[in-house]
Chains A and B, each alone.
Chain A
């Protein structure tokens, strides 16, 4: 099993450009998440999907949209990229939304917005 996969691994955008980060998991997990990781800020939740067909905002949703395409796939879209969105983006999944459930992370996408 590949676990959680993300594409692309690296991306450079110009301010105002749009792009979609792709995430897929093959563990039959119900819940999926998008985080951003910034130096000194740790991991901050952007959006999550508790189950197929639902999405909810996390701590830092502004400037992003998500789509839970099916049970396996959860994409993150930047409609008009800004330099403040330069970050490393991690997708994660878990069996469900529950207090004891472990999260499984993808390898990350390093995004630079110039």
Chain B
């Protein structure tokens, strides 16, 4: 199975900050990397697929980049509603695997 790691596991930030989260796959996954946002007690929300394509309705302050094994989620100008946990997922091969998540907290 492809293992997904994320760094950091948590971070503290303020509204207006630029936030960067890194995701690494244990082997190459082409561009088949997705990002999800989840708030406590809520279902995940799909943000980005194919490394950098924003899901419909996702604000443009979210962006994704990377290739092969190393990927990044960036949030430009963090907004109050962005405090949440972010998880990456590879869907290049079965089984699809998720990263452990990065919690973005209020500084």
Is this pair of chains taken from one and the same complex? no
Residues of B participating in the A interface, judged by any CB pair closer than 8 Å: none
